[in-house]
Amino acid sequence: MKKIIIVISLIMILFSSCSVFQNNNSNVLDDGYNYVTIIVNIPDYTPDDSSIYIAGNFNSWNPGDKRFKLKNENGKYKITLKAEPGFTIEYKITRGNWETVEKGKDGEEIPNRIYTFDSKKNTIEITVYNWRDFVEKGDGNVKHTITGNVKIINDFYLKELDKKRRIWIYLPPDYETSNKRYPVLYMHDGQNVFDAATSFVGEWEVDETLEKLFKEGKTSGVIVVAIDNGGSDRLNEYSPWKWDNTNIQIAKGQGGEGDKYVDSIVKSVKPYIDKNFRTIPEDNGIMGSSMGGLISLYAAIKYPEVFKKVGALSSAFWFADNKITDYVKERGYVGDLKIFLYIGGKEESSMDDANKYKNDTIEMAELLKNLGYKNVKLLIDENGIHNESFWAKHFAEIFLWLYNN
């Protein structure tokens, strides 16, 4: 492998104000912060016109954030990360979207990279062995992990968004041999639901879990419809409200298309699924994580006649200054919804409150109960972090509570 060196050298502050600014001076200022320079080796097959980005918990995992596009200086790309001592970041390297995120030596998924700012000035070197899009074209050794009967529509038209999107449709093991009708579970971030080859930090293993539960007689079957996220449009589509807090740069200016996205599920996707598959049209659930958790709860509160069950995992209720909380209060009790809220005890936020994910979820559970919702369950995994491995770990428990009780 040809060694191409990229030096990351954009300066950012990863704490409450989240200011981001350029600084080409490599001298560390005596300002109380720690600095790190990251040197990245990339595959020699990387297209010459590629733009390289860093995405992580400091920018809401936006893979094509222009603020974090690596700067080319004399053939090298430079960025320096600046943060308060002890701050920990999780990150990955991309070429602008999650379809081009880095992969391992054999094309496998790799864990988030982690760095803690523990010295005044530091330099580390990492290697990107593969890119996802090249692996999926057969230029790597990663294998697809789809289990069971999963159908894929690559260019489904979402009229309300005026966009095309891939959707995945999981059918129960006895779908082809019975005349049964099934409830439907709609899920977001479809890339991460069934297939490790398309996931960005691992899949939810929804197909494997449902196949196992069916064989064990714990479920009579469910149809799962997973809709791909829009990459750089993910934050826009997963919140009805824009992020307009001028004091916080994380996702500033994003959001605002959540109503169109939810409407597209209800008015474009659901009618197609009900027409072409044996569904129980009035028995629908919706589930997602992080921003997907936020938009799932919003969808059910907006359309309680459609979505009777909600799984909101590790929800980013903080987005847009907790406007989801105001919305839930304004709507009040809208019907007999079953709502499962999950949060991990180690899901740190880059907001002022490091425990904001956890605290907001606990407060949301209390609010829903106070509004009259009787079927609200809160699960806290004190060891849980913000990624697919923990959502996969708890999917069976959440699914069974929503669909079997």
pLDDT tens sequence across 280-299: 999 999 999 999 999 999 99
Q: How many helices (H) and strands (E) does the chain have?
A: 9, 21
Angle separating helix axes 388-404 and 206-215, nearest 10 degrees: 40
Report the distance separating Cα 125 and Cα 215, nearest Å: 47
- Which of 400, 355, 352 minimizes the C-alpha distance to 380? 355
C-alpha–C-alpha distance, residues 296 and 311, integer Å: 7
| pLDDT higher at 237 or 78 | 237
Per-residue pLDDT, 14: 43
Residue 205, pLDDT score: 95
Give the residue among 223, 132, 113, 230 at the shortest CA–CA distance from 178. 223
Round to whole Å and give the CA distance between 296 and 239: 10
pLDDT band, residue 327 (cuts 50/70/90) = very high
Rounded to a whole number of angstroms, the distance between the first and last alpha carbons of the chain is 54
Those residues with Cβ within 8 angstroms of residue 390's Cβ, 6 or more apart along the chain or in another chain = 314, 344, 381, 384
The Cα 198–Cα 113 span in angstroms is 19
* Domains of the chain, each with CATH number or no CATH: 4-138 (2.60.40.10), 149-404 (3.40.50.1820)
- State the Cα–Cα distance between residues 204 and 206, nearest whole angstrom: 5
> How crowded is residue 147: how many other Cβ atoms within 10 Å of its Cβ?
17
Which residues, in sequence order, are bridge partners of residue 115? Answer: 89
Of 214, 204, 202, 203, nearest in space to 171 by CA: 214
Write down the pLDDT at residue 259: 97
Residue from 233, 222, 235, 106 nearest 173 by CA: 222
SS3 of residue 313 by DSSP? strand
Cα 55–chain centre separation: 12
| Residue 275 CB contacts under 8 Å (≥ 6 apart), including other chains | none
pLDDT digits (tens, 9 = 90+) for 3-26: 555 554 444 444 333 333 333 344
Give the tens place of pLDDT for each residue, 238-289.
999 988 764 554 556 788 899 999 999 999 999 999 999 999 999 999 999 9
Tokens representing 31?
A: 């300002």
